[in-house]
Amino acid sequence: MKMKFYLIVLSLLAVCLWGTGDVRAQSASRSMTVTGKVVDQNGAAVTGASVVVVGTTKGTTTGADGAFSLTGVASDARLAVNFIGYKSQTVEVGGRTSFNIVLVEEATAVDEVVVVGYGQVKKSDLTGSVASVKAEKLTDIPANSIDGLLQGRVAGVQVVNSSQDPGASSTVRIRGNSSLNGSNAPLVVIDGFPWGDAGDLKQINPQDIVSMEVLKDASASAIYGSRGANGVILITTRKAQENVTRITLRQQTTVSGFSSELNLWRDPVLMAMLSNESSINAGLTPTYIGATNANGVYYPSIAELQTTWTTNTRWDDLVFRPTPVSNNTTVQVQSSNDRTMFQASANYYLDNGMYIEDTYRKYGGNFSVEHKLLDNLRMKASANITSNKRHNNGGLAYWRNPIFPVYDDNGDYWLYGAQDYSHPLALTDLQKNDSKGLDIISFASVNWDVLPCLNVMAQFNYKHGEQITDKYFPKKYSETGVFNDGYGSIDNWKDDNIVFEAYATFDRTFAEKHRLTVMGGYSYENYQSRSSSLAAKGFINESLGNENLAAGDSETYSIGNGSYKTELVSALTRINYTFDNRFLFTFTARADGSSKFGSNNKWAFFPSGAFSWKMHEERFIRNLNVFDVLKIRASYGISGNQGISAYQTLSRYGQHKYFNGGKWVTAIGPGYQSGTTGQDGIYALWSGIPNKGLKWETTAQVDLGLDMSFFGNRLNVTFDWYDKRTSDLLRERNIAPSSGYDKMWVNDGEIRNRGIELTIDGVAFQNRDWRVGGTFVFSRNRNKVLSLGNAVQTGLKTDLRTGMQYEYYGNQSEQFRAYTNILAVGQPMYVFYGYRTDGIVQSLAEGLSAGLSGDDAQPGEFKYVDIYDGDGLETVDENDMCIIGDPNPDWMASLGIDVSWRRFDFSIFFNGVFGNDVLNTKRFDQPSNMPMRWTADNPTNSYPRLNANRQTKLSDWWVEDGSFVRIQTMTLGYSIPFSKKDAARKIRLYVSADNLYTFTGFEGYDPEVGMTGIYSGGYPRLRKWTFGADFTF
């Protein structure tokens, strides 16, 4: 035992003496001055490159000519050379005093490293469909959220910015919609942490992003099992580089304005004349006749408006900011040495909306540290903290009648009668709709290279989110307040998410031609959420608003709270085998166990397999001297979707207030039905019936791909064809009220998405001064509902003319008194269902002969078409409804062009969506369309007459072509030269335009709407001019 102890002591002593000798040797090495020049592959000077003596803080930066000089450098030292966008280099001094260092661009299209689930791989070794977007192409775009940066950049990815509210997120879809009631959003993974669904990424600062990888096919996404059915977006955030100290300041100031003229009612005379015409056509008394109505409001006559009436309020001038200014400031600090790398950033973002007092503020901080404990043992830790505040003032009534004044004679807000819920300035001052949020995400990992061929990784992630929303709607000035005699509420929500993962990776090459990489791991996720809400109505004293909910009527108090918890346990593996660097095989599998599902279906298995052949490695292809890369890919796999709430397989209780004896009573249970009538008996069914057999949605996907590169990898082409089928759809089915419940979750139905994707990118021309490059992206997806389950059990309706089975989707439209969208077997999701029209009725006889009756048969009304003859009646009724439009685009395309000349750079990006229909609910509300309306003197066949009593039917007249091409971004930048004596390493100034111009035939303000294709006005889309400056020190 003593002998072992002495041997250990002697070994440690030897190590210490060896280290001492090394130090003495260094101290003994001679000191010298070294000079040199840093250039790129074309021989052009690299200005601002970092040159640091490894292991010391001694360093400098290259000047405008790429030259550098360092004194006091040991003859056996090493120089680390770094510059953004180029591979780092370490050069041995070796007693030399002069150096010419050539930096190589960070990566070519072939050998760049792409992040995949639980690992990295060279792009040339990919077997699945993975698209990569690098941050340098995105940093100039004025965006508050990551998801919007992807729009048009990746084939097969549809990003819809349907809301322009400050802080609003986008809707993201990869290869179409695959679920009816479950989630359709792709999974987002940030630095290995499964963040959640895309579309809620405001918490991450886009300036902290290094790259985004999009996993589109099953072979790439199946490693995420039950959350990979909708695709996966992998986000890598910025980390420090080795032996680099850098400070970066990015400042963006954005000035916004309307992208096109608003079509508003500003002429009171025209508005009054049209209003009277509408009333007369409906057989009603006109409004503008110089009389006071029942609300005590005086409406002048047309003659008065033309002569003596002086009030003409431009409400849009009062409601909109003339040129809202937003700011985005980010400071980043990086520092590192041989052992430790540290990075930190801080961000402040202010988004001022177009409406007055409509703002979104975000404060964020991010830091990460990586430390090499041993040469083969590394530790990482990071945290991201974001706080946001939203003051919501959107949706103000900029369409308010211009004859109404702003103030009354006493200086108070003028009211339309005793109560008025459309006065925009009163709402701004007195209505409250604010929210505050906090998000924290932290990460820690240990990475151990056990052997040269074996790596073990363990990581722990924690995410905390919380939000509080305060609302108060005054009883005189808001619609909600008017109908509730004042309404106030406070809503709280918070959640905690813990993820622990551990996996090992074995990577070894055998006999030079056989490379085997095997990864196996374990994952555990715990999610908990709590929420509470307080609300009251009937406020006697409104002075404190929702700060004193006790001032409301006690019988209207509403108190609610809830909590739920879910767990997900997984085992996963991936096996990659490469033969002779030509044939590549990938097998992935994941087994997920989820607490969301019943005891019989808690576990599911999600496998996938892929193959690729590097044909360019074959002699017969090399001899052609055409291809740098020629690779074919094929994959098949199954992934899942568990996008439902917790406890759907269990019996759930709820509570609801109902009237009994004229008083509110609270009932608790699975459901309540009253046997009384009248006011007593207002009841609701709560929660849902359990379904212990509920299981996962499964998506099976086939993908065939082709990758090609030409002309020294200057032209790259990627093509994919896919067939994606989702079965066992998670759906809510209506059930008989006699059960005491209203709905239950079931697995029913099947959806298919099939399409092609094409990406072409490259460099057309490049020399010492010029570089011209571009990217073209094209995708076409065909969505089809293959089944909606058993027609009887699900209560499907049948189109009597075609036999098509369908069900309504969404909520009824108040304007049309009907559902606008349906899910129909054999059709794309969300198609419009209504009546066909054949112009405008020109005479009563024509209307009656067309099967119309009543007011619908009058001249000037829509001429609906009787297309169903099975009832033997020549009348237009609900049996004559049919599919009248499809909101899904036929194809999407984008084109980006990048040009640089010396220190100037220019880029322009076009994005287009084609073949989609939009239901324009505002088509007949535009003043510019009024001259085209039907009148006896103008019997047009395009627009109907004005009719205040028209029972508007949903028809194809309201459906327009929503195709558009948008100049999405355009940027001009300039990099300022400086000498090596300057503190700055890089300064770039630029101006960028967003939403510059839209080419479209759509009559509304903007054709980009949500997935269901409904245009209802809403927040106007803005054109933004961003002035930016990047400083690197």
What does the alpha-carbon distance between residue 398 and residue 264 come to, in Å, rounded to a whole number?
8
Contact 369, 337 (CB under 8 A): no
What does the alpha-carbon distance between residue 54 and residue 101 come to, in Å, rounded to a whole number?
16
Beta-strand ranges (E) seen in 477-622 are 487-510, 514-537, 558-579, 583-594, 603-614
Q: Would you state the structure tokens that stand for residue 934, as one six-digit string?
A: 């039907």
Q: Would you state the structure tokens that stand for residue 659, as one six-digit string?
A: 């009237």
Amino acid code (one letter) for 489: S
Task: Give domain status of residue 297, yes or no.
Answer: yes
Amino acid code (one letter) for 527: Y
Q: Is the pLDDT of residue 443 over 50?
A: yes
Name the percent of the chain lying above pLDDT 90: 47
3 state SS of 221:
helix
What does the alpha-carbon distance between residue 189 and residue 177 come to, in Å, rounded to a whole number?
20
pLDDT for 260 equals 82
User: Which pTM does this prediction carry?
Assistant: 0.85
Q: 56, 76, 102: which is the final residue of a domain?
A: 102
Beta-strand ranges (E) seen in 103-229 are 113-116, 119-122, 130-134, 157-160, 171-174, 187-190, 193-197, 209-215
What does the alpha-carbon distance between residue 802 and residue 732 come to, in Å, rounded to a whole number?
26
Q: Would you state the structure tokens that stand for residue 71, as one six-digit string?
A: 């004194």
What does the alpha-carbon distance between residue 646 and residue 497 come to, in Å, rounded to a whole number?
14
Residue 917 half-sphere exposure toward CB, CA atoms < 13 A: 21
Amino acid code (one letter) for 110: V
Task: Give domain status of residue 462, yes or no.
Answer: no
Task: Give domain status of residue 305, yes or no.
Answer: yes
Task: Give domain status of residue 179, yes or no.
Answer: no
Contact 436, 484 (CB under 8 A): no
pLDDT for 106 equals 58
Lowest mean pLDDT among 108-117, 171-180, 402-411, 642-651: 108-117
DSSP readout, 704-748?
A: EEEEEEETTTTEEEEEEEEEEEEES-EEEEE--GGGT-SEEEEE-
Per-residue pLDDT, averaged over 442-466, amounts to 94
Contact 167, 305 (CB under 8 A): no
Question: Which residues does 477 contact at the CB level (< 8 Å), separation at least 6?
Answer: 413, 419, 420, 421, 423, 426, 427, 430, 431
What does the alpha-carbon distance between residue 736 and residue 495 come to, in Å, rounded to a whole number?
34
Q: Is the pLDDT of residue 528 over 50?
A: yes
Q: Is the pLDDT of residue 655 over 80?
A: no
Contact 863, 877 (CB under 8 A): no
Amino acid code (one letter) for 1001: G
pLDDT for 677 equals 37
Q: Is the pLDDT of residue 201 over 80?
A: no
Tens digit of each residue's pLDDT (9 = 90 or more) over 745-784: 888 899 999 999 999 999 998 888 889 999 999 999 999 9
Tens digit of each residue's pLDDT (9 = 90 or more) over 939-986: 998 999 999 988 889 999 999 999 999 999 999 999 887 665 566 678
What does the alpha-carbon distance between residue 678 and residue 665 come to, in Å, rounded to a whole number?
15
Q: Is the pLDDT of residue 934 over 90?
A: yes
Q: Is the pLDDT of residue 212 over 80?
A: yes
Closest CA to 1032 of 433, 248, 495, 372: 248
Lowest mean pLDDT among 182-186, 474-478, 497-501, 670-674: 670-674
Q: Is the pLDDT of residue 918 over 70?
A: yes
For the chain, helix, strand, coil in percent to 5 are: 15, 50, 40
Q: Is the pLDDT of residue 16 over 50?
A: no
Q: Is the pLDDT of residue 632 over 90?
A: yes
What is the phi/psi pair of residue 584, to 5°? -125, 135
pLDDT for 133 equals 83
Closest CA to 46 of 93, 109, 18, 88: 88
Edge-to-edge strands, sheet with 50-53: 59-61, 50-53, 78-82, 89-92
Q: 102, 131, 149: which is the final residue of a domain?
A: 102
Task: Give domain status of residue 203, yes or no.
Answer: no
Question: Which residues does 179 contact at the CB level (< 8 Å), separation at least 6?
Answer: 229, 230, 641, 643, 697, 726, 729, 730, 751
Q: For the chain, how many structural domains are there in total?
A: 2
CA dihedral sign, ordered 803, 804, 810, 813:
negative
pLDDT tier, 678 (very low <50, low <70, confident <90, very high otherwise): very low
Contact 580, 617 (CB under 8 A): yes
- Indicate the burial class of 817 (C-beta count within 10 angstroms; 0-12, 13-18, 19 or more): exposed
Task: Give domain status of residue 41, yes or no.
Answer: yes
778 alpha carbon, distance to own chain's centre: 20
Beta-strand ranges (E) seen in 216-356 are 232-237, 246-258, 291-292, 298-299, 325-336, 340-352
CA dihedral sign, ordered 71, 73, 79, 84:
negative
Contact 852, 840 (CB under 8 A): no
pLDDT for 96 equals 87
CATH number for the domain spanning 41: value is 2.60.40.1120
Tens digit of each residue's pLDDT (9 = 90 or more) over 852-871: 888 889 999 999 999 987 66
Closest CA to 263 of 947, 1003, 962: 1003
Contact 965, 998 (CB under 8 A): yes
Contact 48, 62 (CB under 8 A): yes
3 state SS of 768:
coil
What does the alpha-carbon distance between residue 727 and residue 178 come to, in Å, rounded to a whole number?
9
pLDDT tier, 663 (very low <50, low <70, confident <90, very high otherwise): low
Task: Give domain status of residue 710, yes or no.
Answer: no
Q: Is the pLDDT of residue 3 over 80?
A: no
Domain that holds residue 48: 28-102
Q: 46, 75, 102: which is the final residue of a domain?
A: 102
Q: Is the pLDDT of residue 109 over 60?
A: no
* Residue predicted with more confidence, 505 or 6: 505
Task: Give domain status of residue 279, yes or no.
Answer: yes
3 state SS of 550:
helix
**Alpha-carbon distances of 130 from 71, 230, 231, rounded to whole Å:** 47, 14, 10
Amino acid code (one letter) for 997: Y
Question: Which residues does 96 contact at the CB level (< 8 Å), separation at least 6?
Answer: 34
